[in-house]
């Protein structure tokens, strides 16, 4: 097989030769990776710049190890993992929180974002945002209740805690306070999705919405089509919540047309979870 060339692909037929073709394709992929690594090096910067969609159905020990040691040599942004459960995820950003937090984040990690919304939820049962994102029912009820799904798909020991600076107070319809909280899964905010705050006339609470999440994820910068999500059960395009306080009555969300918007907190919009692995 070692003397096969890419130009031979079109000539290979039959079940035995098909195996040879697969080996050749694997060799070509590995050669491509090696060339890209020569250009961009290794580490989180390379993993974020080498963003392209690659379908995977397994996360190996070597992949986890390359995240943990900070080389990211076996992973990159854009990997699209379909777990045995059928749930789908994107590798979205390498070391997004490294060095952050009231307790410094020293674990190398890959930020993972669900491809599809597995369900919908309300931020609150009525249209209020009292207590900010920290008091949202999505954080206090929905995410903890569904954490076992993520643990089943990635292994509980591989999911790392993120320290988030989250809004916890609202005054005159604007977020007005924040506090640190440890989360094993969380919602994205507008800067992580679009690279900018949810701009509303007269709302001066942007820094409380942004916290320590003020950079656009490498996935959305390189592959903006992935901003659109679908509801897993129907495959219809789905609005999905962010945790930005928009007013006294509503939170931000990503419209299924692809733009930033906001809605009353009692609306049942999609939940697109994010979390860290390593």
| Mean pLDDT of each 10-residue bin along the chain, 278 residues long | 42 45 49 61 80 95 98 96 98 98 97 98 98 98 98 98 98 95 98 90 83 97 97 98 96 96 97 98
Q: Is residue 165 part of a domain?
A: yes
Q: Is residue 34 part of a domain?
A: yes
Q: What are phi and psi of 30, to 5 degrees?
A: -65, -40
Question: What is the torsional sign of CA 25, 29, 30, 32?
Answer: positive
Q: What is the predicted pLDDT for the residue at 131?
A: 98
Q: Tell me: do 33 and 116 sit in the same domain.
A: no
Q: Is residue 77 part of a domain?
A: no
Task: Give the count of domains, the chain.
Answer: 2
> Please, what is the Cα angle at 217 between 67 and 88, to 5 degrees?
70
Pick from 267, 217, 223: which is nearest to 241 by CA? Answer: 267
Q: Is residue 162 part of a domain?
A: yes
Its pTM stands at 0.86
Q: Is residue 199 part of a domain?
A: yes
Q: Tell me: do 29 and 124 sit in the same domain.
A: no
Q: Tell me: do 151 and 22 sit in the same domain.
A: no
The H-or-E segment that residue 165 falls in is strand 162-171
Pick from 185, 176, 163: which is nearest to 103 by CA? Answer: 163
Q: What is the predicted pLDDT for the residue at 247?
A: 94
Taking residue 258's Cβ as centre, other Cβ atoms within 10 Å add up to: 12
> Please, what is the Cα angle at 267 between 258 and 130, to 5 degrees?
105
Question: The tokens of 211 are what?
Answer: 């916290």
Q: Quote the domain boundaries for residue 235.
A: 112-277
CA distance 218 to 112: 11
Q: What is the predicted pLDDT for the residue at 6?
A: 41
Q: Tell me: do 2 and 120 sit in the same domain.
A: no
Q: Tell me: do 170 and 34 sit in the same domain.
A: no
DSSP-derived 3-state class of residue 271: strand
Q: Is residue 79 part of a domain?
A: no
Q: Is residue 225 part of a domain?
A: yes
Q: Tell me: do 155 and 29 sit in the same domain.
A: no
The H-or-E segment that residue 102 falls in is none
Q: Tell me: do 35 and 116 sit in the same domain.
A: no
Q: Tell me: do 122 and 219 sit in the same domain.
A: yes
Q: What share of the chain is helix, strand, coil (3-state, %, to 5)?
A: 30, 25, 40
CA distance 177 to 164: 13
Q: Is residue 84 part of a domain?
A: no
Question: The tokens of 62 are what?
Answer: 């070597």
């Amino acid at each position: 097989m070692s003397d096969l060339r890419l130009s031979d692909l079109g000539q290979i037929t039959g079940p035995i030769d098909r195996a040879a073709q697969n080996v050749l394709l694997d060799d070509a992929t590995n050669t491509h990776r090696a060339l890209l690594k020569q250009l961009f090096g290794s580490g989180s910067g390379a993993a974020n710049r080498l963003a392209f969609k690659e379908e995977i159905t397994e996360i190996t020990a070597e992949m986890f190890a390359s995240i943990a040691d900070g080389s990211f040599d076996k992973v990159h942004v854009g990997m699209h993992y379909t777990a045995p459960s059928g749930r789908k995820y994107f590798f979205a950003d390498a070391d997004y929180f490294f060095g952050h937090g009231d307790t410094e984040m020293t674990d190398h990690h890959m930020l993972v974002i669900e491809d599809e919304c597995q369900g919908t939820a309300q931020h609150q049962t009525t249209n209020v945002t009292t207590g900010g994102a920290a008091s949202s029912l999505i954080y206090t009820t929905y995410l903890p209740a569904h954490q076992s799904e993520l643990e089943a798909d990635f292994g509980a020991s591989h999911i790392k805690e993120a320290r988030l600076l989250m809004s916890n107070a609202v005054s005159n319809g604007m977020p007005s306070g924040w506090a640190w909280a440890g989360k094993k899964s969380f919602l994205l905010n507008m800067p992580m999705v679009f690279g900018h705050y949810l701009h509303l006339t007269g709302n001066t609470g942007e820094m409380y919405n942004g916290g320590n999440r003020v950079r656009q994820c490498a996935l959305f910068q390189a592959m903006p089509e992935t901003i659109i999500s679908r509801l897993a059960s129907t495959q219809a395009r789905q609005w999905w919540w962010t945790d930005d306080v928009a007013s006294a009555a509503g939170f931000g969300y990503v419209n299924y047309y692809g733009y930033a918007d906001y809605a009353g907190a009692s609306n049942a919009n999609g939940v697109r979870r994010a979390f860290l692995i390593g």
